[in-house]
Amino acid sequence: MAIRTRFTELFGVEHPIAQGGMQWVGKAELVAAVANAGALGFITALTQPTPEDLAKEIQRTKDLTDKPFGVNLTILPAIKPPPYAEYRAAIIDAGIKIVETAGYKPQEHVDHFKEHGIKVIHKCTAVRHAASAERMGVDAISIDGFECAGHPGEDDIPGLILIPAAADRIKIPMLASGGFGDARGLVAALALGADGINMGTRFCVTQEAPIPMAFKEQMVANDERQTDLIFRTLHNTARVMRNAVSQEVVSIEKAGGAKFEDVMHLVAGTRGRDALANGDTDGGIWSAGMIQGLIHDIPTCKELIDRIVSEAEVLIRGRLEGMVSSSARVAVE
């Protein structure tokens, strides 16, 4: 079955499924596996230490697939920001035609990419931000609900409301992000007005994801309650996998008056990276979404994508169509 949507048509992929950018995870082996299975994968630019390393990772991905794939560039406010212009140049020079942007004030980056004929998907957590990105000239939106891993924004609007609210306002193609991992989610997203789904946590729990098996097995074992919201009191909310470190951060915040300096030693990126390298699921902070409760196995990317699409067909043509009586179908026709 092929589910054709504005997203598949615009980006030249077979299935309305994307693997968004993920720090430490969006590398060639995963992105190429997603692309070869007919979905759209994204290399995470800032996982690579330098723009030169990014160029090498793009080439490594091209060596593994001849299908479309993109690069994620997340823009974060920082005292000493990464050399974004150099990362952009590496993306452009490599001939990449699709970019996923996310984060803070993307206009400069969007304009530069568009000047070079690159299609841009901007990821955001609020309808007003999606509308702003549409005005900036992006080609598509990825709207990220409260259920997501990472930063859900500060509005706390879940996908069941956020997706149709965005669909009412946004005219360009839109992916639904946050809480998606199976055929039911895909069909629901399409019904709510999206043109496809963007999955992060679910793609972490695949054979090709370049992370230790201990993390994958932990996410399979977890249920939907095994996340923590940290940085709530700092107004920079992040959803992470519940573990000893995240619980300590929550405890410090609950005590009141916490500053970032009070938890910095717990949430430092280097600590999380080292924990990941060592397979220590309690060693640092790890982004993961509520979708953990619907993850029960560790398939290949192809097995996962094929299953989602085939089960979506059964839902659409079987269960849902069967709920409409013959008289109602005649009336609709």
Q: How confident is the model at residue 235 (pLDDT cuts 50, 70, 90)?
A: very high
Task: Using the predicted structure, report yes or no on whether residue 327 has a pLDDT greater than 70.
Answer: no
Ordered DSSP codes for 103-168: ES--HHHHHHHHHTT-EEEEEESSHHHHHHHHHHT-SEEEEE-TTSSB---SS---HHHHHHHHHH
pLDDT reading at 328 higher than 60: no
Which pLDDT belongs to residue 319? 86
Radius of gyration of the chain (CA): 19
User: What is residue 12's three-state secondary structure?
Assistant: coil
Q: Give the domains, in start order, of the chain with CATH numbers.
A: 10-211 (3.20.20.70)
- Tokens 């923590």 belong to residue: 228
Among residues of the chain, what percentage have pLDDT more than 70? Answer: 97
pLDDT digits (tens, 9 = 90+) for 94-127: 999 999 999 988 999 999 999 999 999 999 999 9
